[in-house]
Amino acid sequence: MADTTGTSGTGTTIPDSRPRKSSWKYIGPGIVVAATGVGAGDLVATLVAGSNFGYTLLWAAVLGCLVKISLAEAAGRWHLATGRTLFDGWASLGRWTTWFFVVYVVIWGFVYGAAAMSSSALPLQALWPDLFPADWSIKPWAIICGLVGLVFVWFNKYEVFEKVMTVLVGVMFVVTVYLAVRVTPNLGDAFAGLLPVLPDEKDSILNTLGLIGGVGGTITLAAYGYWVNAKGWTNTSWMKVMRLDNRVAYITTGVFVVAMLFVGAELLHASHTSIASGDKGLLDLTKILQAEYGTATAKLFLVGFFATSFTSLIGVWHGVSLMFADFVERYRSERVTGEEVARGDREKGWPFRAYLLWLTFPPIVLLFQGQPFRLVILYGVLGAAFMPFLALTLVWLLNSRRVPTEWRNGWLSNGMLVVAGLLFVVLCVKQIWDQPWADFF
C-alpha cells in the first residue's frame, strides 16, 4: 500500500507526496518485468545471433536494453505522474485503442497460453524423460505448468508473486552468468563488439533490428506501470525509485542477453554449430553443454531454462490479467486510478480471474489439437503491432496536457520513444510481410 501522512478535514487520506530517496530496498517491479520479458525464445534469438555473428552484434543487444528502459520508464511515469492507468490513457485517445487492445489480448492470450505452457514443459521433460509415457510428449508437463501458474496467481497477491519471481530471477542469473564464465569469453572481441558495426551478410540490417527490438519486448513492458502501482507506488513521490527500479530491470536483462551471446559466440560460432529456432533450440544447447562440460552443467542449464520459461508464464498470468481487469473496470466507471490497483482488490476480482482462466484452459485444447493456422498468423500480426502501438501512444500521451508539465517528455525521452516506435514499425511490417498470406485465404 502507498504511504500516507494523514487525513484531510473530510477524513480523506492524503498521499505522502514527498520524494522518496532512491534505495535498493524498494526494488521489485523491475525484477518482475525483466523476468517476464525475457523468455526462452529470447535466449535462443541471442544464442543464434552469437552463433551467426560472434560478438559483432553485442552493441545491438545493449542498445536494445536502452530502448526497453525508455519504454518501461515512460509507462511507469504515466502511472505515477497522472495517477491514472495506462489503459485509461489509451481510452482517452479514442475507441480504436480499446478495440485493438481487446482483440489483441483475446487472440494473443489464447495462443500465448499454449506456447508458454509448452516452453515451461520442455526442460521438465528433459530432466525427467521417463516420468510419463513417451507418446504423451510434453503435454502432461505443459498442463501441470499451466495449472500451477493458475493456482499460484489466483491465490496470491502481488507481494508473494514478486518474491517468487525474485527467487527465479536469481536462478536465471546464476545459471546464465555461470555459463558465460564457463565458455571463457574472449573479452577483447567482446569489447570490440560494442562498436556499432553491421555484419557483412545478407539481411544483416533486419537481423540487427530484430535483436535490438526482440529481447524483452512484449506486452509486459506495458504491464510495468501496473506492477509499479501494485507495489504501492501511486504518485510522483516514487518517481526516483521507479527510475532506479527500471534501470535495474534492464541491467538484469542486459546480463542475460550478454551472457547468452557469449555462449553463442564461443560455444556455437567457433565450432560452426547450429541450433533449432524457437524454444527447442535450448534443448539442442543442452546436448552440446553435456558433451562439452558434463551432465551436471547440462542439468543446471535445464533448471535455468525452466526458471526463464516459468517466470514468463506466471508474469503474463499476473500482469496481463491486471491489464484486462483494468479494461473491464474502465467501462464500469469513468476513470480508473493507480490507487485502485495498489489496494490489490483487482487480483481477487472476477475480470482478473476470468482472464487467468482464459490464459489457462482454452490453450490446453491447442496442446492436443495443434495451433489453428489462421489464428497463429493473426497472433503474429497482432504481436508485431503491439510494440509500435505502445511506443507511439506513449509519445502521444506524454507530450499532451494529460500529463503535468513537469513530467512530460523531454528531448531524450521523445528521441528514444520515437526511435523505438520506428524500429518496431519496421519489424512489424517485416513480420506482416513474412506471414504466409497466400495460405491464409
When the pLDDT of each residue in the chain is averaged and rounded to a whole number, the result is 87
Comparing 95-104, 131-140, 376-385, which segment has the lowest mean pLDDT? 376-385
Q: Which of 220-229, 296-305, 334-343 has the lowest mean pLDDT?
A: 334-343
Average pLDDT over residues 167-173: 94
pLDDT tens readout for residues 386-408: 999 999 999 999 999 999 999 99
- Do 43 and 264 contact (CB within 8 A), yes or no? no
361 burial level (CB within 10 Å; 0-12, 13-18, 19+): middle
Sole residue written with cell 540487427: 208
Is residue 364 predicted with pLDDT exceeding 90? yes
Q: Give the contacts of 159 (CB within 8 A, at least 6 positions apart).
A: none
Residues 288-319 have pLDDT tens digits of 999 999 999 999 999 999 999 999 999 999 99
Say if residue 7's pLDDT is above 80.
no
For the residues 350-359, what does the mean pLDDT come to?
Answer: 96
Model pTM? 0.91
Residue 197 or residue 120, greater confidence? 120
Are 266 and 184 in contact, with CB atoms under 8 Å apart? yes
The larger pLDDT score, comparing residue 272 to residue 103, is at 103
* Closest to 209 (Cα-Cα) out of 194, 193, 198: 198
The DSSP output letter for 130 is T
Does pLDDT of 76 surpass 90?
yes
pLDDT of 191 > 50? The answer is: yes
- CA–CA separation, 321 and 155 (whole Å): 14
